[in-house]
Structure formats: C-alpha cells, structure tokens
Amino acid sequence: MDSAQAALDRLCDPQAEVSAHYLIGNDGMLWQMVAEGNRAWHAGAGEWHGQGDINSRSIGIELDNRGTHPFSQPQMTRLEKLLADIMTRWDIPPEGVIGHSDMAPGRKFDPGSRFDWERLARLGLAQARGRQGNTEVPFREAARAVGFTAPVDDETLLAGVRLRFRPWGIGPLCQDDLLALPPA
C-alpha cells in the first residue's frame, strides 16, 4: 500500500477479505483492528515448524512500508513495545516471532530485506542469526530445524532464509548461508 491510510482502508474493507490485528504507521501511529484473541486474515497459506493455518495461531502486525526504504525509528520503537507486550501476554518466545516471508517463502516477501531483524533479536524480540551454524548439516535440514517447513523448491527456500537471516546474500548457496541459520 502507498500509505498507512490506504492499508487501513483495505484491512477494514470486508470485500478485501484481509485483516490484521495491528497496523503500525511509518510515524509510529498504532491501530488495533482485531482483538488478539480473535482470528485475523493476515497470513494466508503457509507453514512454520510444520504447522499450517498460521492465521489461527498468530497475531498479525502489518507495517506501513513498501520495502523500498528502511523502517522508520518511530515505527520500530512502537513495534518493539507492542511485540514485548504481546510476547509477555501470550508467552511467545523470540523464535515465535516471524515475518510473512518466513512462513510463505516465494509467495510473500514482507517485511523485506530492509527490515531490521537484528535490532529485534538484540532486544530478545526475535530469533538471532546463527553464530555457530553447523555446515555439515544439509541446508534444507538446517532451515527446517529452525522453522522453514513450507513446501518450496531449494531456490525459494534459500531466498526466504536470506530475507530473514542474511538479506545481503546473493548467488548460489554457500557456507555463509548455513552459518547465518540459528543453531536448532
């Protein structure tokens, strides 16, 4: 969407058949559209840790950013507070905080390569990149162990893992891709 207002209009339009629990504007403004205990329609088809129907087991937070620029400081600050509160209320570990591109690689690309997962990881709000990955384990097996279980081809899986843990990575699979995965 081109703006938070456009996203809000779409997320609140019953004809669109899409919703989220929260929307955070680029300026840090927060809207809650669905109660956390109710199901929203934000994730669509996908899988994480072998579980489908992500909509029924997640709280959807949409961010006002098309992926063409870094996420703003006010937006990230609001997200950090909201995540900390949600994680406490629902006893969600850092490994349980994922992006759309994690559960539906190839179909979804958000939050995108400009999203600062490392910042969230430093605050204990997301899983950190690996520092001691096991390069003896096949890539698909290592990715599966940390949650990437969606049935996709190797190229799509690599792109999804890189969006999350190594967004600057290019070219074919290499040892650095394995090292970026968190230890299982």
Catalytic residue list: 62
Torsion of CA 37, 41, 47, 50, to 10 degrees: 30
Which pairs count as long-range contacts for 120-125, CB under 8 Å and 24+ apart, including other chains? 120/79, 120/80, 120/83, 121/94, 123/80, 123/84, 124/94, 125/80, 125/83, 125/84, 125/87, 125/94, 125/97
For residues 139 and 104, what is the distance between their CA atoms, to the nearest angstrom?
Answer: 18
